[in-house]
Amino acid sequence: MFKENLKMAVGSILGNKMRSFLTMLGIIIGISAVIAILSVGNGAANQLTSTFSELGATTISLSASSEDGNEDLITDEDIQVIKESIPEVRYVSPDETASSQIASEFADRRAILSYGTPDMQYTNQMMESEVVHGRYFNQTDYEDGKNVAVITEDTARALFNNRTDVVGESIQLSGTQNQLNLQVIGVLDGTFDQLQGSFDLSEMPLYVAIPLTTMGELNPDATSIDGLTIQTESTEAIEPVSNQVVRLLELRHNSVGEDNYTAYNFLQALDQVNNVLNLFINFIAAVAGIALLVGGIGVMNIMLVSVTERTREIGTRKALGATTNTILVQFLMESIILSLIGGLIGLTLGILLSNVVAGALNIVPEFTLSAVLLVIAFSTAVGVFFGIYPARKAAQLDPIEALRYE
């Protein structure tokens, strides 16, 4: 009987191709929209996660503040103790910034000045870490407060007539209180070449890195440390290291319970962004899912029409011995097949649509097996839910009254 009901259901659908297609249209639109939104949204989320990882998924940003205005919340000794006592800490530096005037014998420009420990080569988010000429300042330079500087290729070009290998050249920094002559000991990879569009490079800021101890000669008021950038060995070490650093500083400065230190990491920011993004994606998918509801109502409507049109057929089958369950299964199967075909077409269109949209946005869509199975299950559920009433109505027809129907 299953085969017979399947043949009759398929025959009825093929006998009214246009009506069947229009019936499935709501389901097709709903499924394709949901699939496209979920796949493109998941692809965007993955790209966002990857971008955050490149920016520093192992980076901790620690800030220090006190209500009593204590400026010694973090010291040079604290930095050394953190690095020596917590094995998971890979790099740690104050990584402070200030604005300064920078000059050479050829040019005079405004610059962003970064200052910290030698580990700043890897913690500085504004400057690349790859040294293309010379070297970065080391621990000896830091401890001795040597007048040395590391600049970017972009800075070198702007100050030295488009040259990049300027190791040994002199530059002058002008602070709020003093002027300082420094020797360029290293040149880092530049970033201006990666910019696209019409940018006026003469308006772009220049970048310079110097030891924190050297900054004390240029501007003594700027050397108090109120924050650290810390990189761990792995993402798994983020939370334990954050807690250990805060606890260590509290103990060293007798400030347990005063909340003077706050550790924040990229994973926390990523979780917040992902939560907002997933909420938005799910909301849009739910709105698109309204089309599925409309499609289900369309399936129920056309099945009611089909029951009315085939009343005499139902009466004849019942007179020949067809049971109520047989009629019920016949029409229910027709409803399920309509919904399932619509779901498969919608799935195909959704995959094509997501590839087009993702290509335009330059992201990679993500298709999951669970999403495909969900589409098939949901399409079947729509067929059952919206087909059960017309099928029951057909099954409960009185055979005598059905045979009299004109």
**DSSP E strand stretches across 153-272:** 170-174, 179-188, 206-211, 227-232, 261-265
Average pLDDT rounded to a whole number, residues 159-187: 90
In tens, the pLDDT along 357-397 reads 888 888 888 777 777 777 777 777 777 777 677 767 766 76
pLDDT for 6-37, tens place per residue? Answer: 777 677 777 777 877 877 887 788 788 888 88
53: pLDDT strictly greater than 80 = no
Strands (E), 160-299: 170-174, 179-188, 206-211, 227-232, 261-265
* 196 — pLDDT class (breaks 50, 70, 90): very low
| Helices first, then strands: H and E counts in the chain | 13, 11
Domain boundaries, the chain: 2-51+272-404, 58-266
Is the pLDDT higher at 358 or at 272?
358
- 358 close to 40: Cβ distance less than 8 angstroms: yes
- Contacts for 46 with CB less than 8 Å, ≥ 6 apart: 364, 366
Mean pLDDT of all residues in 169-194: 84
Does residue 150 sit in helix, strand or coil? strand
pLDDT of 225 above 60 = yes
- pLDDT surpasses 90 at 288: no
Of residues 245 and 329, more confidently modeled = 245
Residue with tokens 């230190």: 261
Burial classification of residue 208, based on how many CB atoms lie within 10 Å of its CB (0-12 exposed, 13-18 middle, 19 or more buried):
buried
Mean pLDDT of the chain: 80
- Using the predicted structure, report yes or no on whether residue 46 has a pLDDT greater than 80: no
What is the band of 68 on the pLDDT scale with cuts at 50, 70, 90?
A: low
Q: Has this prediction a pTM greater than 0.75?
A: no
DSSP-derived letter for residue 284 is: H
Closest of 275, 284, 112, 105 to residue 191, by C-alpha = 112
